[in-house]
Amino acid sequence: MVLMKTVIIELQNMIKTTTEMIFIFMTMFAMVIATGSAFFMVWRVRKHTRTMVEFSIRRGWSEAIEKGYIKEDAIELSKEAKKFILPVEKDIRDFIKHKGKNLDAVELWLQLEAKFGDRILTQVCVPARLSQGGCLVLAIEAAKTALGLRVRNYIGETQVKKT
């Protein structure tokens, strides 16, 4: 009888331990699934953000070309565009020289907008009557031209390169 009680108690302890182990395993599995889902959602947001920025860059190029500030066949700013860029060109040129050389067009666009967006809006966009991103395109191109760098206006090949 004592042996039977001992066996029953041991079985109950094993069942408790097994149940706890199953609970721990299921919790860990749920955490792995949740972490994977979070990484996937972050990846999707980054992908969609990049797509939207690429769209904005294309719109900016289109606007700058349409207004005559950049020639379509060559990345060359008009005299009028250079006049609008003057207030911010040196700061943007210094930023690109020190931090932006190895950035692709999207990262460069995002970082310049974050750092100089307000100044570009008030000192370039408004005077040049640009509202679709063309003013940022002008600012980037002016600074890169001064540094001897280029970024193709096609998103497929957007790495900043030495000319």
Separation of alpha carbons 63 and 18, rounded Å: 67
Task: Categorize the per-residue pLDDT at 162 as very low, low, confident or very high, splitting at 50, 70 and 90.
Answer: very low
Hey, what amino acid is at 96?
A: I
Position 154 scores a pLDDT of 42
Separation of alpha carbons 145 and 70, rounded Å: 12
On whether the CB atoms of residues 76 and 133 are closer than 8 A, the answer is no
Long-range contacts of 13-16, Cβ-Cβ distance < 8 Å, separation of 24 or more:
none
> Is residue 156 pLDDT above 60, yes or no?
no
User: Measured on CA atoms in the order 82, 88, 90, 93, is the torsion positive or negative?
Assistant: negative
What is the tens place of the pLDDT at every residue in 60-119?
A: 888 888 888 887 665 678 888 888 888 888 898 888 888 877 777 788 888 888 999 899
In this prediction the pTM is: 0.61
Domain ranges across the chain:
53-162
